[in-house]
Amino acid sequence: MLVVGERINTSRKRINEAVRGRDAEVIKNEASMQVAAGADYIDINAGTSVARETDDLKWLVETVQSVTDMPLCIDSANPQAIRAALALVDKPPIINSITAEASRKDAILPLVAESDASVVALLMGDEGMPEDSAGRLAVAETLLGQIEKAGIARGRVHIDPLVRPVSTDTRQGSEVLKTVRAVMTGWPGVHTICGLSNISFGLPVRNVLNATFLALMIEAGLDGAIIDPTEPRMVATIAAAEALLGRDDFCMRYIEEHRAGHLML
């Protein structure tokens, strides 16, 4: 399971203040903490200020890379900001994200094609957010065809099935699970990933719902998650689910996570 640490996002007040004030120590500590908790990539998002996003994203790339050699997930819908960040990365990143929306896809897909980056492909298009798995899979078929036409190998593609809150539509959990199963069986070599915390929006004790949904998604075939790895329940859920599903040879990852103290609930 690929774990992308989501904490460096200017939508969080503390991070926004650190980025605006160029407080490198706060950002370095966030990056180091997520790596220690098991993150494979560090997500960086500076999208709360359109005017500053390019400069802020460049600063985040340099700041995070000064403290860790883990690759980055460049989280932006701004082609200019993505291009600037790509020029500074030390390792091939993940670009998060493209959609089937023509303006976004046409601007960002060439950046992926001309680099060695991977890409998150979010299953929504110009018609909006699909309500069910059939709508999501129709977007996937169109979007994957365009991605492959651009010369991007399936192994560099991470399909995001578009997680929506069950508080407003109780079907959304099951529809996302059906989408993940269909993508992982229908397009061999493609990965799946999601920021799954939207599933619990508006409900109490969200971490219980998030962890349970994560376990269900792993059983459905999900092989990547954008999460806060410092939440013990999340890392523990990944380790336990993969061990129980036979995806952890001799349960070695589970044992290693235990030794690292990551299985405390």
Average pLDDT, the chain: 96
Section 160-181 average pLDDT = 97
Confidence band, pLDDT 50/70/90 cuts, at residue 261: confident
Which tens digits make up the pLDDT trace of 193-202?
A: 999 999 999 9
Note the pTM of the prediction, 2 decimals: 0.96
Contacts of 134 (CB under 8 A, 6+ apart): none
**pLDDT tens across 41-87, in order?**
999 999 999 999 999 999 999 999 999 999 999 999 999 999 999 99
The partner residues of 2 in beta bridges, in order of sequence, read: 224
Per-residue pLDDT band at 262 (split at 50, 70, 90): confident
In which order are the strands placed within the sheet that holds 224-227?
191-192, 157-160, 118-122, 94-98, 72-75, 41-45, 2-9, 224-227
pLDDT-based confidence at residue 265 (cuts at 50, 70, 90): low
Query: Which is nearest to 221 in space by CA: 247, 184, 189, 194?
Result: 184
Q: What local confidence, expressed as pLDDT, does residue 184 receive?
A: 98
- Predicted confidence (pLDDT) per residue in 175-221, tens digit: 999 999 999 999 999 999 999 999 999 999 999 999 999 999 999 99
The count of other CB atoms within 10 Å of the CB of residue 64 is 24
Give, in degrees to the nearest 5, the angle at Cα 163 between 158 and 167. Answer: 170
* Closest-CA residue to 117 (of 141, 88, 140, 139): 88
pLDDT at position 15: 98
* DSSP symbol at 22: T
Q: Which CATH class is domain 2-226?
A: alpha beta
Distance in angstroms (rounded) separating the CA atoms of residues 136 and 179: 7
Tell me where in the chain the CATH 3.20.20.20 domain(s) lie: 2-226
* Other beta carbons less than 10 A from residue 103's beta carbon: 11
